[in-house]
A and B are shown apart, each in its own frame.
Chain A
Amino acid sequence: MSLLSVAGVTKRFGGVTANRDISFEVAPGELVGIIGPNGSGKSTLFEIISGFYRADTGLVRLDGSPLTGLSPDRVCRLGVARTFQKLRPFAGLTVVDNVMVGALTRTHDVRHARARARELLDRVGLGEKADAHARTLSTGQRKRLELARALATEPRVLLLDEVTGGVDQRSIPGLVQLVRDLHRGGLTLLVIEHNMRVITAVAQRIVALYLGEKIADGAPDVVTRDPRVVDAYLGQAYTQ
């Protein structure tokens, strides 16, 4: 029984088909990676799952109940959280306030939310920065903030959009470990990632998209050797 199911999702923007008949399942506790070149429809898929775009056809379901057509805030309250590729911290608020916004979706008590927020910040390694203004954070720190914020909503499925994008090399292992720890803690994750080393290290399964279509779906070592994936995205040198 899958936790998140995407079935036949299609989305057109004028003449461009961003997603064409995309279908796959994510089992509870799985970490599934989504790869593909720019323009393959990965972000569009995330926007549809999280409720920001409405799919033209197809269904997205969480544990059997339909998510398609629901507003993004309802999708979140039902248990799907996400991060954004272009980071969107609440710049005018402090770090802990940022995370509290997420926590307040699950609790009405402000003090309880604050405690929970500080806990989460400690967990992602931002504990010391809790009272700083969000705009003073570095990119890597903002990524962690985004993560903590999304986690505060106690999601059943977390959509991570390019969590290592724009982050300096030294910080990547730390972030990767964080994602691994979350996964080990039982969280179901759907991860868009460009960095092949990262995704093959953490993903149990990879879904490859190209020009809006799904071209592969399987274990990392299988998908990365798939000739269509190599052709479209990886290039011959990768498989050598």
Chain B
Amino acid sequence: MRGPWPAVAFFAAAALAPLVVRDAFLLDGLVLILLWGTTGAAWNLAGGYAGQVSLGHAAFFGLGAYAAAILGTRWGISPWIGLLVGAALATAFGFILGFLSNRLRGPYFGLATIALSQVLLIVASRWRAFTSGSEGIPVSFRPGFWTLGIVDKRVWVYVILVLAAVLYVVQLYLERSRRGYQLAAVREDEDAALSLGVPARRLKVAAIAVSAALTAVCGTLWTQYVGFVDPLYVFSVDLSVRFCLFAILGGIGTPLGPFVGAALITILETSLRARFGGIGAGLVGIYLIIYGTALIVTMRVAPQGLLPWVGALLRRRPDPRPTG
């Protein structure tokens, strides 16, 4: 799946859809696909391109969500400011994580990321005075662009589309640029990369910090869209794994992969919800069984994800850029 055409098609379709589609349900699906795709792409910067597999990215998502929600409900500050504050906080935590990534490899780093997201979850759900505890925070809705109080889903599509496009371009940059080559070397073999003058440590930290900031931005936007912050969801390990899932299913270390993965999963979820109506615990369980099994099977059959796998099938050549 080389070349820009699949991506052009995807973004063009997303951009044109609101002009053609009126159905709120379908537009909602599109917003979610774009939003989750963007979050997956942000994860991909650290997990796919830098090879630092984080299982705790919900920490950053939640920081973005809470920053905007708290600043908005307590002090009436615009969620755009909240977005920046969330991104700044996430960057700080991203640096901490980056520091850890230089001391720990693979699974140990994954464990540390889970621990970090759990700490934030507990703090957010217990610190009643500041965060309203486990009840969460309903986001105040004030109509207007400055307050991100947007009712028209078509406008939401365009807001998120901009961010999605940015993330696509950032990933593309990472593939083609000098830093991209260096990062690829780091994830293939860090010591060999060091011996060639690649500043591996700094690059990993930078990748994680940028990934963190962008994930937080997604968290802010999502909160404003959905209208509610629930600490038990927004900092959860389940959510963190979702972010990984988008990139892994669609194509880890490819720019369009996370969007494809997000599209597949969102379509699955919305169609299941439409068929069975309402969200009961049983339904959530079914998605999760599918995701868990999909992860296991993907790792077995196509560890690089769907896009590279299909691409290899089409070309009948081995996968170009493994990150494992």
Contact = CB atoms under 8 A, between A and B. Distances in A.
Contact of B195 (A84, A89, A92): A84
A206 interface: no
Interface stretch (B27-35, B103-111, B119-127, B183-191): B183-191
Contacts of B194: 51-52, 71-73, 76
Interface residues of A, number: 32
A51 B199 CA distance: 13
Contacts of A72: 191, 194-195
Contacts of A93: 184-185, 188, 321
A76 B188 contact: no
Given A88-B191, A90-B188, A90-B189, A73 B197 contact: yes
B200 interface: yes
Interface string B38-57: 00000000000000000000
Contacts of A73: 193-200
A108 B184 contact: no
A88 B196 contact: no
A81 interface: yes
Interface stretch (B173-181, B214-222, B233-241): B173-181
A144 B44 CA distance: 33
Given A73-B200, A104-B178, A108-B178, A82 B185 contact: no
Interface stretch (A9-17, A95-103, A190-198, A207-215): A95-103
B196 A105 contact: yes
Interface string A105-116: 100111001000
B292 to A, nearest CB: 27
Contact of B197 (A76, A88, A91, A109): A76
B188 A50 contact: no
Contacts of B182: 101, 104
B197 A84 contact: no
Interface size class of B (residues with CB under 8 A): 20 to 34
B177 A101 contact: no
B192 A92 contact: no
Nearest to A136: B318
A184 B302 CA distance: 49
Contacts, number: 84
Nearest to B193: A101
A54 interface: no
A102 B181 contact: no
Given A102-B197, A105-B197, A88 B192 contact: yes
A146 to B, nearest CB: 9
Given A50-B195, A76-B196, A92 B178 contact: no
Q: Is the interface of B mostly helix, strand, loop or mixed?
A: helix
Contacts of B181: 97, 100-101, 104, 110, 113
Contacts of B311: none
A101 B185 contact: yes
A180 interface: no
Q: Which of B176, B196, B198, B200 has its CB near the most chain A CB atoms (within 10 A)?
A: B196
Interface in B282-320: 318, 320
Interface string B150-183: 0000000000000000000000000011100110
Interface string B199-228: 111000000000000000000000000000
B133 interface: no
Contacts of A88: 189, 191-192
B196 A149 contact: yes
**Most central of A71, A101, A102 by chain B CB within 10 Å:** A101
Nearest to B196: A102
A160 to B, nearest CB: 13
A52 B196 contact: no
A203 to B, nearest CB: 23
B118 interface: no
A133 interface: yes
B270 interface: no
A132 to B, nearest CB: 11
B191 A150 contact: no
Nearest to B180: A110
Contacts of B318: 133
Contacts of A89: 192
B140 interface: no
B188 A91 contact: yes
B192 A110 contact: no
B73 interface: no
Given A90-B184, A92-B188, A133-B318, A110 B177 contact: yes
Contacts of A100: 181
B323 interface: yes
Given A82-B195, A105-B196, 6 more contacts: A72-B191, A76-B194, A88-B189, A92-B322, A101-B184, A152-B196
Interface of A: 50-52, 71-73, 76-77, 81-82, 84, 88-93, 97, 100-102, 104-105, 108-110, 113, 133, 149-150, 152-153
Interface of B: 176-178, 181-182, 184-185, 188-189, 191-201, 318, 320-323
14 contacts: A52-B194, A73-B193, A73-B194, A76-B196, A81-B196, A90-B184, A90-B188, A91-B188, A93-B184, A93-B185, A110-B181, A133-B318, A133-B320, A153-B197
